[in-house]
Amino acid sequence: MAIPDFQSLMLPLLHLAQDGNEHRLADTRLPLAEQFALTSHEQIELLPSGRQSRFNNRIAWAKVYLERAGLLEKTRRGHFRITSAGNNLLMNPPDRIDISFLKQYPGFDEFRSKHIGESTIEDAVIEKTPEETLQLAYRDIRNSLAAELIAHVKSVSPVFFERLVLDLMLKMGYGGSHDKAGMLTTSGADEGIDGIINEDKLGLDVIYLQAKRWENTVGRPEIQKFVGALHGRRARKGVFLTTSSFTSDAIDYASKIDSKVVLIDGITLAQLMIDFNVGVSSSQVFEIKRVDSDYFTDE
C-alpha cells in the first residue's frame, strides 16, 4: 500500500488519542503503519533531504494541523493529548478529516490565512506536507540548474574544461591547501592524462585526471587507455570525468581493475559543481528554523 498523505493520517491519529491520555508522537508510528498496511521499506522511505522518513514527517504534520484546529493539544515536546473539541468531533466522526474540513475551526482558518496564504491548489487534493513540497521544489530547481550547467560546460573549449575539472577537484579538498596542489599537463603530451593532483606536498600520493568533453557515451576502450596511461606512470589512482555518460561495460571494467579509477558522468559532474560552488553562485537563500527546546528548559 502507498504511504498515505498527511491529510489521510489526521482522523486515524485523532482516534489514537481518543482515550484522553497523553501520547508520544513516536509511539503512534507503528499502529498507524499497521493500520495502513505499510511495508518496512515504506516506513523508512526518506524525504529528498535524506534526513527524515516520509511517513514520520507526514504523521508530524498531521499532528500540527490538528493542533492548529484545536482538536489536539501539545503537552510537552513530542507529546500530545486530545482536546474537548476533538472528543466532541469523534462522537459523530466524519469519514475523513482534511484541510477543507478543518477550515470550520476559527483557529485553523486564521493559521492558514496568516501563515500559509491563498493556495492555487485545491486543499482537498494536497498530498505533500509543506516540508515535502519545499524539498521537492528545491530538487526541481537544482536539477534544472544542473541541466543548464552541463549545457554551458559542453560549450566551452577542451582546455577550459580541463581547467574546470582541476578547479572542482581542488574545491572538493583533493590536494589540500598547499601551493602547486594541482596542475594541467601540456597539451598533446599528456599520454592520456589531463591533470595531476598532488595530495601531499612531496607528491608521494598523486591522483591523475582525464577530462572528456564528449557528447557520445564513453566506452570501455577509453577507460582502458586511461588505465594504460596510469600504469605507465605507476599510478594507483585516477578520475575519469566526462560531460556525457559511461557504458555499462566501461563501468563494469573500472570496478574490477586493481587501480582505483572513479568515473564521473555529466549528471554527477554538474551536481558536484553545484555542491562545491564551481561555475555557480547563490541566487536566494531560504533558512528553515525550528523551536530551540533547550532555550525553554529552565522555564
Domain ranges of the chain: 10-128, 156-275
User: From the CB of residue 107, how many other CB atoms can be counted at a distance below 10 Å?
Assistant: 14
Q: Would you write out the chain's pLDDT as a tens digit for each of its 299 residues?
A: 689 999 999 999 999 999 999 999 999 999 999 999 999 999 999 887 788 899 999 999 999 999 999 999 999 888 999 999 999 999 999 999 999 999 999 888 777 765 554 443 345 446 688 888 888 888 878 888 898 899 899 999 888 998 898 889 889 888 765 556 666 665 544 557 888 888 766 666 788 999 999 889 999 999 999 999 888 888 889 999 999 999 999 999 999 988 899 999 999 999 999 999 999 988 878 777 877 766 676 55
CATH 1.10.10 fits 10-128, yes or no: yes
State the fold for domain 156-275. Answer: Trna Endonuclease; Chain: A, domain 1 (3.40.1350)
Closest CA to 212 of 249, 245, 253: 245
